[in-house]
Amino acid sequence: MAGEKPTVWIGKGGIGVPIVDEIKKQLKAQGNVKVKVLKTVLREKSMEDVASEVAEKTGSELIEVRGHTFILHKPKGSKKGL
C-alpha cells in the first residue's frame, strides 16, 4: 500500500459517523484502507490515538501508522464491527 494514495481523509469534523461508515464500506469492499489525518485533528489527539479509535470503531486491525497516515485491514467476509 506504500504506493497507493489515501482514500479517506479525516479533517476538522473528526471521527464522526459518516467517516466511520465510509471506512467500513471500503474495508468491506477492499480489505485495506489508507487514511490521511489532517493537522487540525492532531491538535486535540495524537496520531496513534486517532488511528486506534478508528480501528476500534470499524472493527478492523491497525497495520501501520506513518506520519499523518495510517492503514487499516479487515479480511473480506469478516463480520466483526460491520
* Span 8-73 CATH architecture: 2-Layer Sandwich (3.30)
Give pTM, 2 decimals.
Answer: 0.87
**Residue the block writes with cell 471500503:** 26
What is the three-state SS of 39-77? CCHHHCCCHHHHHHHHHHHHCCEEEEEECCEEEEECCCC
Confidence check: pLDDT of 81 > 80: no
Where are the chain's structural domains? 8-73
| Residue-wise pLDDT tens digits, 15-66 | 999 999 999 999 999 999 999 999 999 998 999 999 999 999 999 999 999 9
Q: What's the CA angle centered on 41, arms 19 and 13, to 5 degrees?
A: 40
Label residue 3 by pLDDT band (50, 70, 90): confident
